[in-house]
């Protein structure tokens, strides 16, 4: 991959050699725990541990809810990113900051917030109850929790792509007679496809790993709200081997996600 | 394809926040060149015509259809195509699909749109590029494709914003010839910094300075007999503006006799004296008893220009031989006298 240029620290003016040790330490700090998980895996029983009934229920629930919440992220996040990137309106900066709040908000706080919005005594709870809908502690609650924490990933990623120069092409398309919908479909979306793709994959990965908001807002009922991260947390006490095996599954998923949606890959 | 395809444009651009106030018209089939220094408001004029900039007092009428005001017509419904310095071909579409984009947007079927795209690629002499990606063609080729794409949209008005400014000088003459051919009989407004564009592409030029029209007329007339400082420097001519008194143009620190044309200035009226840099001789001191016009100046710049040396003194220039430049020891700051024969000076009313 590397070219003929020497990119080691040799003659790099901005990279003093004392910087290498902490950099290596940091890399080890991130990688070593992954190695530890792999080392701890009970390979002989791996198959049965991962395919036990509880494991399969959790895995299947996680995949289904993550797919639905990723879809919700696309349906809501793409319009949000376009509005934030292309329109100018008062309060836009504040709105952008608030929309990104779930990125830094502790997930358990997000779960509490969702509970007091959609829960039985929540802001919208009574209205929903009249309509015969009970959200809290249902699979729908899992999807809402995952969507809440994942949405900013898609919005941030896509808004960045939208701001990197596709607007000039949109102007040209309009002067060629293309209406806003045609411009969006034939010019904007194809040009931001790499950003949209990596944003979608990141949102999916975040949904798959969601724990705090889910356990607070949706609880932990097997087959209904107990997703893979919740299952791992519970098994950690009773069945360490199963917890480790399921952890490895999520590690592999994470590695694959990073592989296909490496940040910055779209730019090169 | 039929030949005559141009609408009549009436344009009033009024953008107070940019201090631009311009009225201009393009007749059906006419190409108008918009000239002016940077920041004169040329791009603002194009943006208003294209509908990209909306201001209360601006007015755009194309082919009798009001595009502004209460029933503001958005860019995509104006039939006004805009071609910028950069080709801006859609990178995710091949050349053929780029050119077919306009027809497709207008509702043409895929096959019909491609036929039209092939026609225009052939007109621009780039038919062989149809299957290529924009990233795989040269800058000159890309601009040809961009012109084909704009024309395939069958615009009533075509706006060109310095279409050749970003191109290699080696490819501009051929593209200019092609443009002259395909733009004939079209209504076109072209912003340019190139005197050849104005002469070869435009029927008429409009000079914009400081957000106002300072001069307009047939391209050849304006360039031969400029009345604005910008048009004169654009045409490579010297211009001294002043008042017509006793058979001479009297300006600040200058008094020029010249040949008066059909448009003789009135006594006391505004007048301009125009002459070529090559008609100017440079002296140490005013030549005694000569019938020549003499202009005492301070040299600001001395630069080689082909086999001559161009001596600039503020707005004025003189072209002299390297030999006389050396003999006079010309450097910036030298105080010299520019002289020019009255027969070499053209005088117009302003």
Query: Which structural domain range is residue A135 located in?
Result: 43-260
A38 touches chain B (CB under 8 A): no
Q: Taking residues B222-243, report their average pLDDT.
A: 81
What is the Cα B226 distance to its own chain's centre?
13
In a domain, A32, yes or no: no
| Secondary structure of A123-190 in HEC code, one letter for each residue | CCHHHHHHCCCCCCCCHHHHHHHHHHHHHHHHHHHHHHHHCCCCHHHHHHHHHCCCCHHHHHHHHHHH
The per-residue pLDDT of chain B, averaged, comes to: 87
Alpha carbon distances (Å) from B130 to B67, B142, B154, B299: 34, 11, 19, 54
A7 lies in some domain: no
Across the range B283-305, mean pLDDT stands at 82
E strand or H helix that includes residue A201: helix A189-209
Q: Which of A255-259, B82-86, B181-185, B207-211 has the lowest mean pLDDT?
A: A255-259
Report the residue from B50, B90, B106 with minimal CB separation from A175: B50
Confidence of residue A264 (pLDDT cuts 50, 70, 90): low
Average pLDDT, stretch B210-226? Answer: 84
Q: Is A203 inside a domain boundary? A: yes
CA atoms of A64 and A140, how far apart (whole Å):
11
Test B91 with A191 for CB contact under 8 angstroms. yes
Q: Is residue A23 part of a domain?
A: no
- Residue B213's SS3 state is strand
- Assess if residue A60 is contained within a domain: yes
ipTM given for this complex: 0.79
Which residue is associated with the tokens 């509490």?
A: A112
Query: pLDDT digits over A215-241, tens only?
Result: 999 988 888 899 999 999 999 988 889
Burial class (CB in 10 A: 0-12, 13-18, 19+), A26: exposed
Q: Which of A166, A167, A172, A183 to mutate to test the interface with B (most CBs of B within 10 A)?
A: A172
| CA of B50 vs chain A CAs: smallest distance (Å) | 7
pLDDT (0 to 100) of residue B289 = 65
Q: B105 vs A179: CB contact, 8 Å cut-off?
A: yes
pLDDT band at A11 (very low <50, low <70, confident <90, very high): low
- Name every chain B residue with its beta carbon within 8 A of the beta carbon of A193: 92
Q: What are B28's two structure tokens?
A: 């059906």
Instruction: Provide the pLDDT for residue A130.
Output: 80
The domains of chain B, with CATH numbers, are: 9-224 (3.40.50.300), 238-349 (2.40.50.100)
Per-residue pLDDT at A9:
47
**Residue A30 maps to a domain:** no
Q: Does a structural domain hold residue A255?
A: yes
Chain B positions touching A169 (Cβ under 8 A) are: 88, 90
pLDDT exceeds cutoff 50 at B204: yes
Q: What is the pLDDT of residue A1?
A: 41
The residues with which B310 forms a beta bridge, in sequence order, are: B303, B319
- Residue A246's domain is classified under what CATH number? 1.10.3720.10
Three-state SS sequence of B109-170: CHHHHHHHHHHHHHHCCCHHHCCCCHHHCCHHHHHHHHHHHHHHCCCCEEEEECCCCCCCCC
Establish if A21 belongs to a structural domain: no
When computed from its CA atoms, the radius of gyration of chain A, rounded to whole angstroms, is: 22
Contact B328, B336 (CB under 8 A): yes
| Cβ-contact B260, B297 below 8 angstroms | no
What band does A261 get if pLDDT is binned at 50, 70 and 90? Answer: confident
Q: How many domains does chain A have?
A: 1
Show residues of chain B in contact with A172, CB under 8 Å. 82, 84, 88, 90
Q: What is the pLDDT of residues B122-177, one digit of tens each?
A: 999 999 999 999 999 999 999 999 999 999 999 999 999 988 888 887 788 888 88
Mean pLDDT of A190-217: 92
CA distance B87 to chain A (A): 10
Q: Other CB atoms closer than 10 Å to residue B328's CB: what's the count? A: 16
């Amino acid at each position: 991959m590397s070219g003929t240029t020497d990119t080691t620290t040799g003659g790099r003016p901005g990279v003093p050699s004392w910087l290498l040790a902490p950099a290596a330490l940091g890399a080890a700090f991130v990688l070593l725990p992954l190695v530890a998980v792999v080392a701890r895996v009970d390979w002989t029983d791996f198959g049965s541990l991962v395919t036990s009934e509880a494991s399969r229920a959790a895995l299947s629930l996680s995949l289904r809810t993550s797919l639905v919440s990723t879809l919700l992220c696309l349906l809501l996040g793409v319009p949000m990113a376009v509005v934030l990137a292309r329109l100018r309106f008062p309060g836009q900066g504040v709105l952008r900051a608030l929309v990104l709040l779930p990125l830094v908000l502790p997930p358990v706080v997000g779960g509490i917030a969702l509970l007091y919005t959609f829960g039985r005594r929540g802001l919208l709870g009574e209205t929903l109850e009249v309509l015969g809908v009970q959200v809290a502690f249902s699979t729908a609650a899992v999807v809402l929790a995952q969507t809440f924490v994942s949405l900013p990933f898609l919005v941030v990623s896509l808004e960045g792509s939208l701001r990197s120069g596709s607007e000039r092409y949109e102007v040209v398309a309009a002067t060629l007679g293309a209406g806003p919908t045609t411009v969006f479909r034939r010019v904007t979306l194809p040009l931001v496809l790499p950003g949209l793709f990596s944003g979608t994959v990141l949102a999916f990965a975040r949904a798959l790993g969601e724990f705090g908001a889910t356990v607070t807002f949706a609880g932990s009922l097997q087959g209904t709200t107990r997703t893979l991260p919740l299952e791992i947390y519970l098994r950690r006490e009773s069945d360490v081997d199963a917890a480790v095996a399921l952890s490895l599954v999520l590690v592999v998923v994470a590695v694959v996600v990073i592989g296909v949606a490496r940040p910055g890959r779209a730019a090169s | 394809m039929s030949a005559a395809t141009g609408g009549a444009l009436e344009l009033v651009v009024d953008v107070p926040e940019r201090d631009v106030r311009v009225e201009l018209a393009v007749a059906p089939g006419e190409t108008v060149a918009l000239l002016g220094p940077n920041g004169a408001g040329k791009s603002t004029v194009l943006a208003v015509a294209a509908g990209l900039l909306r201001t209360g007092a601006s007015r755009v009428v194309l082919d009798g259809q009001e595009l502004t005001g209460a029933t503001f017509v958005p860019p995509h419904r104006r039939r006004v195509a805009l071609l910028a310095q950069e080709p801006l071909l859609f990178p995710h579409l091949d050349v053929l699909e780029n050119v077919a984009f306009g027809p497709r947007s207008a509702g043409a079927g895929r096959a019909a749109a491609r036929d039209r795209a092939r026609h225009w690629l052939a007109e621009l002499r780039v038919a062989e590029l149809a299957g290529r990606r924009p990233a795989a063609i040269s800058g000159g080729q890309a601009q040809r494709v961009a012109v084909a794409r704009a024309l395939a949209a069958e615009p009533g008005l075509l706006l060109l914003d310095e279409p050749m400014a970003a191109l290699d000088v080696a490819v501009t003459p051929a593209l200019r010839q092609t443009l002259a051919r395909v733009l004939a009989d079209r209504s076109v407004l072209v912003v340019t910094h190139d005197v050849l564009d104005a002469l070869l592409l435009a029927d008429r030029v409009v000079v914009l300075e400081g957000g106002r029209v300072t001069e307009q007329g047939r391209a050849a007339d304006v360039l031969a007999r400029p009345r604005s400082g910008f048009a004169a420097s654009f045409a490579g001519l010297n211009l001294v503006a002043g008042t017509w008194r006793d058979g001479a143009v009297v300006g600040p620190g200058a008094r020029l006799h010249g040949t008066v044309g059909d448009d003789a200035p009135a006594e006391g009226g505004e007048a301009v004296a125009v002459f070529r840099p090559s008609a100017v001789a440079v002296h140490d001191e005013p030549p005694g008893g000569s019938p020549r016009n003499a202009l005492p100046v301070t040299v600001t710049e001395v630069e080689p220009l082909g086999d001559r040396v161009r001596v600039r003194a503020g707005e004025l220039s003189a072209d002299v031989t390297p030999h006389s430049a050396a003999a006079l020891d010309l450097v910036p700051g030298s105080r010299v006298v520019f002289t020019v024969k009255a027969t070499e000076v053209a005088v117009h009313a302003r």
